[in-house]
Amino acid sequence: MTVAMYVDLTEIRTEYARAGLQERALNPSPIRQLERWLREAIDAKHPEPTAMTVATVDAEGQPSSRIVLLKTLDDRGLVFFTNYDSDKGHDLAQNPRACASFFWVMLERQVRVTGSVSMVPRDESEAYFRSRPRESQIGAWASRQSAVLSGREELDRIVEETRARFGEGEIPCPPNWGGYLLTPSRVEFWQGRPSRLHDRLRYTRDAQSTDAWVIERLSP
């Protein structure tokens, strides 16, 4: 059976040959290793180096994914901010686990982080909200994230109403807006190699110690 394609994808192929990844080169901590790769992506002027795909699953088992920006990376894990009433917020309320993935194509690298998700403390969300540009603060109040709109005009109207509501005064953090912490249980580092024989090294939390990690090489 011949399948007609509107766009011929058969000739699109990239050979990855920039670098390799060896166990001896890894930091014992996946957080420190991720910090290293993130810094190298930033130094390489990779576009949107903090962009990550966050995948969630709802109560019926339906997966969803979207791009968000990493805002904090520390010993706890990865933090991003969003509207708690969004689709991802509803998913995480029912199934508080997620997978985040980075793809730095210029460096031929991927990272996948899988683990549990929890809301960050309220004071942390408020502190980050105060650091945002004023128009982004207005947008957080105006957006009923993931809700259906009648058109762009409705959103523009709500934005103007929100701007008038706060005037020149301080804009507080919305009660339904804040941060989520992804606490890793598995972290995989992927370095592209020729002939699709990629290097894949996975960290898994040691069952005997919450501070220790087991590093294993996976088949490509």
Q: Could you list the mean pLDDT of each consecutive 10-residue stretch along the chain, which spans 220 residues?
A: 73 88 96 98 98 97 98 98 97 98 98 98 98 98 94 97 96 98 98 96 86 95
Q: Taking the complete model, does pTM exceed 0.75, yes or no?
A: yes
Q: Which residues define the annotated binding site?
A: 13-16, 66-71, 81-82, 88, 110, 128, 132, 136, 145-146, 190, 196-198, 200
- Write down the pLDDT at residue 3: 65
32 is catalytic: no
Q: Please, what are the domains in the chain?
A: 23-128+177-218 (2.30.110.10)
Alpha-carbon dihedral sign for residues 130, 136, 138, 144 = negative
Q: Which residues does residue 186 pair with via DSSP β-bridges, in sequence order? A: 114, 204
Q: What is the pLDDT of residue 2?
A: 66
According to the model, what pLDDT value does residue 206 have?
85
Phi, psi angle pair for 23, to nearest 5°:
-55, -40
Q: How far apart are CA 42 and CA 64, in angstroms?
A: 27
| Annotated catalytic residue, options 186, 196, 202, 205 | 196
